[in-house]
Structure 1
């Protein structure tokens, strides 16, 4: 974990030298929900009402790439699966957009 923190700390210095520090990460098990009815509109002095009943549509996986120094998401994908092909597909998109090499610093999950 300390190695990852050091990489993040050096991202700004690297940016000044023209280097990019990009993080690819995933978040699994995101519930895909749909509200059964539309919410009530806002009115003066009241917040928007939100329907509490919902329909479940399973779970989704978000895989995103993040420019560490700028604090911006470069690109992301949401899908039903979390396979090597999904991860590598996003990595290739990043590589084409940013014209950079990719390295993976660790396989352990961190949140």
Structure 2
């Protein structure tokens, strides 16, 4: 088992989720139950699955939950791009968040290789 609070990837994912909640406040209210809800769920799913995997009894289970977290990171990245494509938010505002998302994807892949 890994102590989740010590994992850099988990800390980075927590920061990403916080960024998404701040970003969501700038999105149109009519998207509250659409993309806003979806990006929030995805962003929370990433650190949550990392934490769940860290609390499991085997490296195999941990890798499985890291894989789920990675899927959520790719899903979130896609939704952020869609926000830009739909002109719901400026690219300059979303680009740094997408960059963190991609960084987490890379960290996740590397971390899985070490397990």
Q: For the superposition of Structure 1 and Structure 2, which TM-score range results when normalised by the shorter chain?
A: under 0.3
The structure whose Rg is larger is 1
TM-score, normalising length from structure 2? 0.26
Higher-strand-fraction structure? 1
TM-score, normalising length from structure 1? 0.27
